Amino acid sequence: MQYPKIIAIGSDHAGFEYKSVLVAFLQDKNIEVKDFGTHSNDSVDYPDYVHPVCQYIEDNPSTMGILICGSANGVAITANKHQKIRAALCWKNEISALARQHNDANIVCIPARFISLEEAKEIVETFLSTDFEGGRHQNRVDKIACC
For the chain, the domains span 6-142
The amino acid occupying position 88 is A
At residue 106, the pLDDT reads 97
- 8 closest CA partner among 24, 23, 30: 23
93-111: average pLDDT: 97
What are the beta bridge partners of residue 110? 68
In the 8-state DSSP scheme, what is residue 3?
P
How many CB atoms are located within 10 Å of the residue 114 CB? 11
What are 72-93's pLDDT values in tens digits?
999 999 999 999 999 999 999 9
Catalytic residue among 13, 82, 90, 102: 102
pLDDT > 70? residue 147: no
Calpha distance 27→43 (Å, rounded): 26
pLDDT of res. 1: 60
Q: Is 6 exposed, middle or buried (0-12, 13-18, 19+ CB in 10 A)?
A: middle
Residues paired with residue 109 on neighbouring β-strands, in sequence order: 67, 89
Catalytic site residue from 13, 54, 69, 109? 69
Range 6-142: architecture per CATH? 3-Layer(aba) Sandwich (3.40)
Residues 142, 63: Cα–Cα separation, whole Å: 19
What confidence tens digit (pLDDT) does each residue in 34-86 have? 999 999 999 999 999 999 999 999 999 999 999 999 999 999 999 999 999 99
Q: What's the Cα-to-Cα distance from 18 to each of 23, 32, 43, 59, rounded to whole Å? A: 9, 17, 15, 25
Q: Please give the average per-residue pLDDT across 98-102, as a whole number.
A: 97
With beta carbons less than 8 A apart as the criterion, state whether 105 and 127 touch.
yes
102 is catalytic: yes
Give the C-alpha separation, 9 to 131, whole Å. 20
Q: Average pLDDT for residues 101-115, to the nearest whole number? A: 97
Question: H-type helices in 35-135, by residue range?
Answer: 47-59, 73-79, 93-103, 117-129
Question: How far apart are alpha carbons 124 and 39 in whole angstroms?
Answer: 20
Q: What are the pLDDT digits (tens) for 111-142? A: 999 999 999 999 999 999 999 877 889 888 88
For the question of residue 69 being annotated catalytic, the response is yes
Q: What is the pTM of this model?
A: 0.95
